[in-house]
Amino acid sequence: MENMSAAKRLLRSKLFSLAAVTAVVVLIFYLIRRSYLGVDNIRGILNSMSLSGTIGVGMACLLIGGGVDLAAGAEGCFGGVMVALLISKAGAPWPVALVAVILIGAAIGAFNAFLINVLNFMGFIATIGVSSMLQGIINIITKARNISISDRGFWSIGTVAVANLFTLPFMIMAALVVVYGIILSRTRFGRTVYMCGGNRRAARLSGLNPKKISTILYINCGALASLGGAILAARMHSGSPKAVLGSELDAITAAVLGGVSFMGGAGNMGGCFIGLLLLCSFNNGLISVKLASYWTIVAQGVLLIAALIADYFNVRARARELKAAGA
């Protein structure tokens, strides 16, 4: 087993099997409908990755570090609405509004971190509460209506594209994936995230500071979610009180598809990216073959459960292998 060739190791790796599944999914949709791989549709897929991806980067780091933020969708929504209000109602220049909104997201993340690390509430429950609070506030300040943005400079975030294929929202997301990928795999902070997520008590007794790490990750997740919401507002030319809701579940789904453990301590950004690509090509494909939209929700659930089942068999096979090796 130790002398496994590089090729064999690649074949065995989770990342490779995930990429293979993605390729098969894309191929099937292509065979059903040739326009699936047309430039316009590919751009659509990549663009659709930007929202759940931007939120997903923060979420994946948090999951690896042993936390979860179920308010991420509401945080994104709040970001979109706030950026629209700041530009349209307060007349702020859009770069200022964008920075302000990221800071607002960070502040909400800090509130989550306070509930979880100071008051010791469970992340799962605390963030459900925060999500509900935020959704209510959003509806009060917008009266449940979209807030339109007429600043063309801000629109350009959604329209600029390289080679008519890679839009700016996609590239921002891709850049975040790369930067956070490097932070996780190569820096001291990244290593600490894995150790604290893998076993909080052992990490603390090894001299690491799990509460500090968790706090940073919640703040980071809030900031990125808010950024994601603001970018969506730029694409839609308005801040919507509900467009981003539920995207925390897409972010979690993509991360788990990509091999992030819900228990913490395992996963990486490369996997998350492919997981996201799979999720978005799948959703887009279901729409492009004109499946009724309710069925896409069913199919998404099937995809996630299929990934969990595949993982279950993977883990069992590994356990058997270890037993056979007498370890």
In the complex with another protein, the residue whose CB is nearer, 156 or 187, is: 187
- Coil/strand/helix, residue 69: coil
Nearest CA to 244 out of 256, 226, 258 is that of: 226
Nearest CA to 211 out of 320, 142, 299, 119 is that of: 119
Please say whether the beta carbons of 277 and 18 come within 8 A: no
Q: Which of residues 276-315 bind another protein (CB under 8 A)?
A: none
Q: Is 191 in the site for another protein (CB under 8 A)?
A: yes
Q: Which of 92, 174, 208, 310 binds another protein (CB under 8 A)?
A: 208
Please say whether the beta carbons of 109 and 219 come within 8 A: yes
**What is the distance between the alpha carbons of residues 16 and 25, in angstroms, rounded to a whole number?**
14
Rounded least distance, CB 172 to another protein, Å: 22
In the complex with another protein, the residue whose CB is nearer, 200 or 235, is: 200
**What is the distance between the alpha carbons of residues 191 and 61, in angstroms, rounded to a whole number?**
11
Q: Is 204 in the site for another protein (CB under 8 A)?
A: yes
Q: Is 13 in the site for another protein (CB under 8 A)?
A: no
Q: Which of residues 246-265 bind another protein (CB under 8 A)?
A: 261, 265
Rounded least distance, CB 72 to another protein, Å: 24
Q: Which of 17, 139, 199, 300 binds another protein (CB under 8 A)?
A: 199
**What is the distance between the alpha carbons of residues 201 and 223, in angstroms, rounded to a whole number?**
27
Rounded least distance, CB 322 to another protein, Å: 6
Q: Is 266 in the site for another protein (CB under 8 A)?
A: yes
Q: Is 103 in the site for another protein (CB under 8 A)?
A: no
The crossing angle, in degrees rounded to 10, of helices 210-236 and 188-198 is 110
Nearest CA to 233 out of 71, 54, 32 is that of: 54
Q: Which of 201, 294, 313, 324 binds another protein (CB under 8 A)?
A: 201
For 159, other C-beta atoms within 10 Å of its C-beta total 12
In the complex with another protein, the residue whose CB is nearer, 145 or 318, is: 318
List residues binding another protein (CB under 8 A).
2, 186-188, 191-192, 194-195, 198-199, 201-209, 261, 265-266, 322, 327
